[in-house]
Every structure is written in structure tokens, then in C-alpha cells.
Amino acid sequence: MTWLPSDISDDFTGNDGDALNTLLWGVPYTRFSTTNYGAKIVGNAGRIYLTGVAASGGDTSTVDSLFTISGDFDIQIDFLNLVHLNHVAAGFSLAANLGSGDSFFIKAHYYSGNKFFIRFVAGGTSYDTEPTRTNAYGKFRLSRVGSICSVQYIDGSGSTWSTAVTHSLDTTDATITLEYYDYNSGSEVRCDFDNFTVNSADSIIVPSNQIMLHSSGGVILDGTSLYDIIRDITLNSSGGLILSGNSILEADWIRFVLDNVKITQQDSIYSVTQKVSKFIATLL
């Protein structure tokens, strides 16, 4: 069974100053040389920020997903509290970067006024659209069906998505990127984001050897599959593993066990359960 879109949807709940969920999102980085950049939890939402960018070339605060999405997909995110200080092209974007080098994204930014900026990159050629924008908050949506990629937005608090802007791109796997770009030097620019939602996805892949805990009591293993092992092994609410009803083992121990169990994509849920149980039994 492939794991569910809800497993990588993220409401960015946490304590102020916490990092973003390290099972879903990579470490923030800057594309050039800005020293004050990052992403963190603020007020149970994510915040991405950037300060002191030199005017020449601009810079970014960038966060990539640790997961990739194969085939058709439909994702969205809320953005709010956008601060750009009327810096040229400064703004927050949601992007899907395809394995071939193609990409598509939408950005809420400033460029001779408040705008959305939509770009599709196909074979090295860019196709841009720049609708007007009224509010410093709203929603972004990216989707793909076959080779047809679509971008939509909501400006403000409405519930009706804009007419989709579409283009045909490559069908390779997509990595999701959250980014703030700023061109001018000056005070901090930032944007908050919330409710990253995977409405649908053909297949969601985590990196090799990445282990995640599933809310139904299973373990997501080895990049592709959800193995529900609740027959003999269950997970408690804090992310520990309960064995035979009395032993609680932490997530790192789960990772050790699963790294040493020979599991293939052909294994049934039952056979996975048995293999994991037998391996644990040899250690006790």
C-alpha cells in the first residue's frame, strides 16, 4: 500500500522558533550569500524570512521537500502576512521542480504593484503570466494531470480558485519548494504559510532509508510503501513502538530494526509483520 497524501500534509503546528517538520522539509538554504535567512514555526504557522540581500542578482531563503511526488498530483498552501517592502520582485513562492529540469511555480510578489507571478519552465524556455494581486494573503495551488501542469490562486479569503493557467511539461517526479526571493538590500522581508495540503497524488516517495510514523499505527519504509504492522507491533502517540504490550522503543530503534529487515515490495502486510517480529525476537 502506498502511503497517503495526508501523511505529508502539514499544518506547521509547534512552538515558536521550532524548525519545520524535519521528516518533510529539508534544512533552509540560500542560493547565494545572504547570511540572515531561514524558516521556522511562528504562531502555529511556518515563516520564511530573508534580510540584507544585495541588489545585484538578489537572493533567496529556500526550503525543499524531502519527499517527491510521482505522476498526477494536486497540492495547495495558504500564504499570509506577506512583507515585501516594495522591493523589486520580492515575494513568496510555491514551486514544483521536476526531475528533468522543467518546473512551475506561483509567487506573490511586488513588481510595479502587487502581483502574482506564474512561471512554467519547459526545456529551458520560460512562459510567464502576471495577474494583479490585492491582498497580502491567499492560497496557491499546483496540480498535474499527465503532462498538463496547472497553477491557480485565491487572492484574499475567498473560496473560489482562479481560472487555471496551464502548460505541458515533463512528467518526471516533482520536488516541492517553498521560497522567498528578494532583490533589494534593506530590512527583513518575510511571509507566513500554513495548511500545506496534498489533495491527491499518484505516489509519494520519501528518501532511501527514510522512516516515518503513520497515524494508523504503521511505519513508512524505504521510500515507497506503508507497512501496517499493528498485528504484533503498534505505535504509541508519542512516536514510540510498543512491543508485546509492554516495551516502548523509540523511533531511532524502529529505524535500526527496519534497516536490518529484508523487505521487498512484493511482501504482504502479513509477511512484513512476521519478518519484523522475528527479527526483534532475536534481539530480546
Residues in the chain: 284
Question: What is the identity of the amino acid at 236?
Answer: N
Q: Model-level pTM?
A: 0.75
Distance, in Å, from the CA atom of 263 to the CA atom of 211, rounded to the nearest integer, reads 14
Q: Which of 72, 87, 11 lies closest to 200, judged by CA?
A: 72
CA 182 – CA 24 distance, rounded (Å): 25
> How far apart are alpha carbons 50 and 181 in whole angstroms?
8
Contact between 108 and 138 (Cβ < 8 Å): yes
Alpha-carbon span 115 to 136, nearest angstrom: 10
What's the pLDDT at 221?
39
> With respect to CATH, is domain 5-205 assigned 2.60.120.200?
yes
In the chain, which ranges are continuous DSSP H helix? Answer: 251-259, 269-283
Contact status, residue 118 vs residue 165, Cβ threshold 8 Å: yes
Give the per-residue pLDDT at 202: 87
Q: Which of 278, 28, 281, 6 is nearest to 178 (CA)?
A: 28
pLDDT of residue 168: 97
Distance between CA atoms of residues 249 and 89, nearest Å: 49
- The answer to whether 103 and 97 are in contact (CB under 8 A) is yes
Q: Where are the domains of the chain?
A: 5-205, 212-283
pLDDT tens digits, one per residue of 138-176: 999 999 999 999 999 999 998 999 999 999 999 999 999
Could you report how far apart the first and last alpha carbons of the chain are, in Å? 29
**Which cell is 22 given?**
524535519
Q: Which amino acid makes up residue 263?
A: I
Nearest Cα residue to 92 out of 64, 72, 62: 62
C-alpha cell at position 225: 510503501
Number of H helices, E strands in the chain: 2, 18
Nearest to 233 by CA among 212, 255, 248: 248
pLDDT of the residue at 235: 40
User: What was the pLDDT predicted at 242?
Assistant: 41
Task: State the Rg of the chain over Cα.
Answer: 21
Mean pLDDT by 10 residues, the chain (284 residues): 67 94 89 86 96 79 92 97 91 96 97 95 96 97 98 95 96 96 83 96 67 41 35 39 40 58 57 64 59
Query: Do 128 and 121 touch, CB atoms closer than 8 A?
Result: no
Please state, in angstroms and rounded to a whole number, the distance separating the CA atoms of residues 283 and 115. 60
